[in-house]
Amino acid sequence: MRKLNSAVWVGMFGAALYSIAALGQQPIFYPAKGQTAQQQGKDVGACKTWAQQTTGINPNAPPPPPPAPAGPAVGGGERLKGAAAGAVIGEATGGNAGGGAAVGAVVGGAKARRNQAAQQQSAQQQASAAQASQISTYNRAVGACMEGRGYTVK
């Protein structure tokens, strides 16, 4: 259980880093035609509204929750496979198929939890990458709008 929780925390930490990186890439605007700070503020607000309407992306919306684990932690047959292998090994090495099966089942359950944690981490990373891509699209739309209003965008 501790390893599963660690993997979940690592996945959430990775998601936070993706989000911070995406937000850190907001465009910078230079008023190339002498626009005032007040005009620039109005233009940024209007362009953010336009970008949200055009792309359908709301950068202020909270990210979706991490995907729930699919099925029990010991799914996928790992526990059963481990028990079968343990019974064979236990019988062959000391005539104790039951003890070997029990050990194999525990090992199989641990393998199932590791597999599930890895799948959950992968899904979280994919979701974070998708969110970062959406934020990038939104920022490009804001930049395009601001260029159209006479700003230099970097």
Q: Where exactly are the structural domains of the chain?
A: 2-153
Quote the mean pLDDT of the chain.
76
Residue 82's pLDDT is 64
b/e per residue 78-88 (b: at least 16 CB within 10 A): bbebbbbbbbe
Structure tokens at 77: 């047959």
- Summarised one tens digit per residue, pLDDT across range 88-130 is 675 566 666 666 656 666 666 677 777 788 888 888 888 888 8
Residue 25's pLDDT is 81
Percentage of residues in the chain with pLDDT exceeding 90?
36
Tell me the pTM. Answer: 0.59
b/e per residue 126-150 (b: at least 16 CB within 10 A): ebbeebbebbeebbebbbebbeebe
**Contact present, 120 and 66 (Cβ < 8 Å):** yes
